[in-house]
Amino acid sequence: MTVTDEEIHAAVDGQTVPSAFVATVAAHGDRVALREKVDDGWVETTFAEYGDQVARMAAGLAALGVGDGTRVVMMMRNIPQFHVVDMAAYFCGATPISIYNSSSPEQVAYLTGHCGATVAVVEDIGFLERFLKVRDELPDLAHLVVLNDPDGLAGPDVHTYASLLEHEPVDLEAAAARATPDHLATLIYTSGTTGPPKGVMLTHRNIAWTVESLRRTLDLDSYLGKRIVSYLPMAHIAERMTSHYQQAWLGYEVTSCPDPGQIGTYAREVRPHVMFGVPRVWEKIHAGVVGALAADPEKSRQFAEGVEAAKPIVDAMAWGRATEEQEATYAFLDELAFRGVRELVGLDQLDIAITGAA
């Protein structure tokens, strides 16, 4: 699809992350938005329930002084509560920022101080301790919030996630107006390989433009309710864009996988329609397939030969240049060698596989 930059800007004019979220909640409230595994079962949250939690969390954050132009940092794995806090900050007029879970206390101090965060929301005591160790270095950090503290170890000066949800909900439609297209939506910090990490500033306009560009490029108009597994760090823009921001516009059903090492298991259980992975993820999947086929030399040979034969055909198909003969050949190869493999790894219902790295 050919589209100009001007057309995309016109299509998203005036849109922000919270305005898109409000529209999706209003239109598709009964659809499943978030899923997580609890014990041996799944807990599902509809868009209506998601919206209510965001409205209450926004009120709770506001009670801690979160407002226009303030910054909220988060240290959480891929769990539904991340989405709630991140989205709620927008309805306060604030900017949410995710910190890599691998960050040391010293890195936490630098990132939190650099962005000027006044509130930090963490998943558990382990993450909380990293902030407590450097809190004296962070005069602007007024409040700490912890999600999981079953033994009450955090102490009275630390708020709980549950207590913030006890507030009366804000009016999401009215509160969405606190964010404008040119407001700072988030800071994505670089890896810091050439010095201290640098905060890349992304506005709501930047995010809306990217979502619309991807929607048109990947033909995502029909992706309402499509399944996706969130498993890569939310501090990275790739995961944030794929499972968080795109969901606000497109209405994905997002399953949270808190341990990226379990993506294989989750894929087999969820059968995602959309999946993003850095090249190493796909390399590991390929290595696993090759290893599984090694016990059957004939199947291994068919698979390897099929892959080599399919490469030029897939390239032609991607550019719309495949002949009828090539398409027929691919269908044969798919039936012979590929379909069973996709079922084995849980990608048999995958519509779009995306990769990329810097």
pLDDT at 106: 97
> Does residue 327 lie within any of the structural domains?
yes
Question: Of 217, 233, 261, which one is at a domain's C-terminal end?
Answer: 217
Residues 17 and 127 in one domain: yes
Question: Of 190, 217, 244, which one is at a domain's C-terminal end?
Answer: 217
Residues 67 and 196 in one domain: yes
pLDDT tens sequence across 109-150: 999 999 999 999 999 999 999 999 999 999 999 999 999 999
Q: What is the mean pLDDT of residues 323-335?
A: 95
> Does residue 237 lie within any of the structural domains?
no
Residues 213 and 294 in one domain: no
Q: What is the mean pLDDT of residues 194-207?
A: 94
Weakest-pLDDT range from 20-29, 37-46, 143-152, 193-202:
193-202
Q: What are phi and psi of 197, to 5 degrees?
A: -55, 145
pLDDT at 43: 98
pLDDT tens sequence across 56-65: 999 999 999 9
The yes-or-no verdict on residue 225 having pLDDT over 90 is: yes
Q: How many domains does the chain have?
A: 2
Other Cβ atoms less than 10 A from the Cβ of 223: the count is: 21
pLDDT at 93: 98
> Does residue 268 lie within any of the structural domains?
no
> Does residue 146 lie within any of the structural domains?
yes
Q: What is the mean pLDDT of residues 12-38?
A: 98
Residues 67 and 147 in one domain: yes
pLDDT tens sequence across 82-110: 999 999 999 999 999 999 999 999 999 99
Residues 192 and 56 in one domain: yes
pLDDT at 302: 86
Q: What is the mean pLDDT of residues 207-219?
A: 92
> Does residue 243 lie within any of the structural domains?
no
Q: Name beta bridge partners: 122.
A: 75, 146
pLDDT tens sequence across 239-264: 999 999 999 999 999 999 999 999 99
The yes-or-no verdict on residue 299 having pLDDT over 90 is: no
The yes-or-no verdict on residue 55 having pLDDT over 90 is: yes
Angle between helices 105-115 and 125-133 (to 10 degrees): 70
Domain extent at residue 26:
11-33+44-217
Weakest-pLDDT range from 21-25, 307-311, 336-340:
336-340
Residues 152 and 297 in one domain: no
> Does residue 294 lie within any of the structural domains?
yes
- CATH number of the structural domain spanning residue 175: 3.40.50.12780
The yes-or-no verdict on residue 268 having pLDDT over 60 is: yes
Residues 28 and 134 in one domain: yes
Question: Of 217, 244, 265, which one is at a domain's C-terminal end?
Answer: 217
Other Cβ atoms less than 10 A from the Cβ of 282: the count is: 14
Q: Look up residue 31 and give its two tokens.
A: 């659809």
> Does residue 272 lie within any of the structural domains?
no
Query: What's the 3-state SS for 193-260?
Result: CCCCCCEEEEEHHHHHHHHHHHHHHCCCCCCCCCEEEECCCCCCHHHHHHHHHHHHHHCCEEEECCCH
How far is the C-alpha of 52 from the C-alpha of 171, rounded, in Å?
10
The yes-or-no verdict on residue 318 having pLDDT over 90 is: no
How buried is residue 81: exposed, middle or buried, by Cβ count under 10 Å (0-12/13-18/19+)? buried
Please report how many Cα atoms fall inside a 13 Å half-sphere around the Cα of residue 249, on the Cβ side: 22
Residues 178 and 304 in one domain: no
pLDDT at 358: 65
> Does residue 302 lie within any of the structural domains?
yes
Average pLDDT, the chain: 95
pLDDT at 356: 86
